[in-house]
């Protein structure tokens, strides 16, 4: 029996970001209509400007919005505010499915940026239904972020951290698959195929992209640093694994 295709309107909060742009492209390629929720499109997720109007006719919302702050207080305020604004606007517009992205281990660390992700999870899980929540490992693209944002002159500063990274494009594909179906609640975690040391990832990224820069691995104090060093952000045994390793992703970047 052939089920006729039905085009869906799916809103993407943070649709211009690392994962969001892949979500938008995949939705469009599949014949659906992505509605990008960013300030550039006239929607402010923090104060709710034009949010309810943008969700008219939308059947699912994928929230991959983010903030770059390392402050637990600011991160918590950002994710709680955005999540509550989205959920409220979704109820008003009759949207039946809220899909959110979080980080493996965020609820166990509860510090720095990850305090906000843990707060986001609590707000979503307090809802009676109509949501799906996916926790994933760090992205391969973390290397680009660290190289561009954490440096002193030519020196690239990288925290002591263990990760089992995953490609943002594969995360986006999983989110699209979830968004096009019925709400699933807490989805099984998803991580990359291999554990890596983040400082090694950065060094390999620099070599592959032809950038000669020294890398300094630093000790980060507090709960955030302990979580990164101890493997709190690593997936549990038996966690689902994506296909693309960091090495394969790096080969694509270097081409």
Answer for the pair 99, 175: CB distance below 8 angstroms, yes or no.
Answer: yes
- Give the tens place of pLDDT for each residue, 77-89: 999 999 999 999 9
Mean pLDDT of all residues in 12-24? 97
Mean pLDDT of all residues in 231-239? 95
Phi, psi angles (nearest 5°) of residue 135: -100, 130
Answer for the pair 7, 80: CB distance below 8 angstroms, yes or no.
Answer: no
Q: Which domains does the chain have, with CATH numbers?
A: 9-254 (3.40.50.720)
Cα(117)–Cα(27) distance, integer angstroms: 25
Count, in order, helices (H) and strands (E) of the chain. Answer: 10, 13
pLDDT at 1 > cutoff 60: no
SS3 state at 115:
helix
Token pair for 182:
């019925």
Q: For the whole model, what pTM was predicted?
A: 0.95
Residue 166 CB contacts under 8 Å (≥ 6 apart), including other chains: 136, 137, 138, 139, 140, 190, 191, 192, 242, 244
Cα(23)–Cα(64) distance, integer angstroms: 9
pLDDT at residue 212 in the model: 83
Q: Which range, of 2-11, 64-73, 130-139, 140-149, averages the lowest pLDDT?
A: 2-11
Mean pLDDT of all residues in 213-222? 93
- Give the tens place of pLDDT for each residue, 169-211: 999 999 999 999 999 999 999 999 999 999 999 999 999 999 8
* Measured CA distances, 103 to 90, 106, 119 (Å): 23, 6, 12
Q: How confident is the model at residue 224 (pLDDT cuts 50, 70, 90)?
A: confident
Token pair for 2:
């052939």
Cα(183)–Cα(181) distance, integer angstroms: 7
Q: What is the CA radius of gyration of the chain?
A: 18
Answer for the pair 67, 30: CB distance below 8 angstroms, yes or no.
Answer: no
- Give the tens place of pLDDT for each residue, 143-170: 999 999 989 999 999 999 999 999 999 9
3-state SS string for 148-197 = HHCEECCEEEEECCEECCECHHHHHHHHHHHHCCCCCEECCCEECCCCEE
């Amino acid at each position: 029996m052939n089920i006729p295709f039905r085009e869906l309107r799916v809103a993407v909060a943070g649709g211009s970001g690392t994962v969001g742009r892949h979500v938008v492209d995949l939705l469009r390629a599949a014949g659906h209509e992505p509605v990008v929720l960013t300030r550039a499109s006239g929607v402010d997720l923090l104060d709710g400007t034009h949010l309810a109007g943008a969700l008219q006719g939308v059947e699912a919302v994928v929230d991959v919005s983010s903030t770059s702050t390392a402050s637990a207080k600011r991160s918590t305020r950002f994710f709680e505010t955005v999540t509550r604004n989205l959920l409220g606007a979704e109820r008003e517009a009759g949207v039946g499915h809220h899909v959110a992205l979080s980080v493996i281990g965020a609820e166990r660390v509860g510090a720095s940026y990850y305090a906000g992700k843990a707060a986001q999870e609590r707000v979503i899980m307090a809802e009676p239904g109509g949501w799906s929540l996916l926790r994933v490992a760090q992205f391969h693209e973390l290397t680009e972020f660290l190289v561009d944002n954490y440096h002193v002159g030519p020196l690239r500063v990288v925290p002591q951290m263990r990760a089992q990274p995953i490609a943002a494009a594969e995360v986006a594909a999983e989110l699209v698959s979830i968004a096009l179906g019925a709400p699933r609640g807490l989805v099984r975690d998803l991580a990359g195929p291999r554990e890596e040391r983040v400082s090694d990832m950065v060094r390999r990224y620099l070599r592959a992209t032809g950038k000669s820069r020294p890398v300094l691995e630093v000790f980060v104090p507090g709960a955030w640093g302990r979580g990164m060093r101890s493997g709190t952000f690593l997936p549990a045994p038996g966690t689902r694994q994506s296909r693309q390793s960091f090495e394969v992703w790096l080969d694509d970047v270097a081409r």
